[in-house]
Copies of this chain bind each other. A is one copy, B any other.
Amino acid sequence: MNSNNSDAGSSGNSHDGGGNSGRDGCTTLLLARAALTRLMEPSDLPGLALIRLLGPEEALGFIRSSNTTNPGVEQEMTEVLQDSGTPRWDGLAAALERWRPRLADLAPERDLATVDRLGGRLLVPEDPQWPQGLADLELAAPIALWCRGTAPAIPAQERCIAVVGSRDSTSYGANVTAEITHSLVQRGYTVVSGGAYGIDANAHRGALSATAGGTPAGPGTPQPATIAVMAGGVDRFYPSGNDELLRTIAGRGLVVAEVPPGTNPTRYRFLQRNRLIAALCQVTVVVEARWRSGALNTARHAEMLSRMVGAVPGSVYSANSAGCHRLLRDGAAICVTDAADVAELAGGAGENLGTEQPVEAALYDGLGTSDLLLLDALPLRTATTLEKLCVVAGLSPATVLSGLGRLESLGLAQPGSGGWKRKGQ
């Protein structure tokens, strides 16, 4: 943040708070971004274009002022939107009309005080702790993140794994989720999920189970075990049945939202929330999902961000695995069966140790074709002659002789009365 840099105000960036410098610049920046998170819905691209052009404080001032006719700003916004793949938009006047009704409700000081009282803070892109992975969202990156919890920061993308799935998980899905997330945290990863029933809740519980018993993680904790990304405000735990769980996460991990305190979750905000989960994580794992499930939306976001997607397979008779199988069939996800598979997808150095299952020692692996043919030809009980072995194995006498030597030394053949037979097994 600018508070770390007293020269921030004189750095020549005319958009970065104008005349406000030092501590004041930081405060007005926080207040402006706090206000903008209430003014604009998530992924409001014209709004985000305006913020990119003018900086948060000036953008807020621009919206507050009555000057709606600014062809220069509108033209620049159009260019930013075009560069971001949004060739058509409804224009500045329409956007201002959309934002203005909410101007009267802005109370950024109150919102910042609320999150402060909850033991959290507003994380802004200007903060060095801002998660770099969100940059891949480009223009749709959030204005700021309201964070509630004692964890010092959201870990780097490389250490975060999203584990998502359907609300109506089966006991199979619950077990797999708990095992994978527990093991991921043990391997040093942070689990990221939503706050829903089912797989989301299982993921958080599995992650929490891998950290120290009942002791809340202190500020010295290297990274949180789990992060819940909410569609509503961080003071509005939804669904209420997960209230206790989300309270625990706020105490021992992080609860995060891009909408300000007091905001209700809506369908639109749930869908937008999913892009944050995907963008914060190196890998998104779908444990269970029906043919049509919100978890698939998160997987699609991850795919669009070129992040790895893993899907856990299950019974073909389970409707709760149909979405996972769909992802696998479409090549949109890699098959993962345990935390080792997930860690390998995340590409962590040394994390793929132990992924390969121990293969039973195969006695015949080192044998060449002719020795294999010879071994097949050797009788188990009564020894047979060299000539008979040639016929049965389809090998020349020289090959049979040298092969018998090799098989004997491996303990697979033994000479007997009148010839050779199998040994061992």
A contact set with B: CB distance below 8 Å = 39-41, 44, 94-95, 97-102, 104-105, 172, 175-176, 266-269, 291-292, 312-317, 321-322, 324-325, 328-329, 331, 334-338, 341, 357, 359-360, 362, 364, 369, 372-373, 375-377, 387, 390-391, 394-399
Contact = CB atoms under 8 A, between A and B. Distances in A.
Nearest to A327: B335
Contacts of A399: 94, 97-98
9 contacts: A94-B398, A98-B394, A101-B394, A101-B397, A266-B373, A267-B364, A268-B369, A316-B338, A329-B334
A41 B374 CA distance: 12
Contacts of A341: 329
Contacts of A41: 373, 394
A159 B268 CA distance: 47
A100 B397 CA distance: 10
Nearest to A291: B357
A362 B329 contact: no
Nearest to A40: B394
A369 B45 CA distance: 12
Contacts of A104: 391
A420 B97 CA distance: 20
A268 B315 contact: no
Contacts of A328: 313, 328, 335
A387 B338 contact: no
A238 to B, nearest CB: 13
Nearest to A399: B98
| 8 pairs of A and B residues whose beta carbons are closest in the complex | A313-B313, A97-B396, A266-B376, A328-B335, A101-B390, A316-B337, A329-B335, A98-B396
A105 B322 contact: no
A56 B287 CA distance: 57
Contacts of A314: 313-316
A362 B291 CA distance: 13
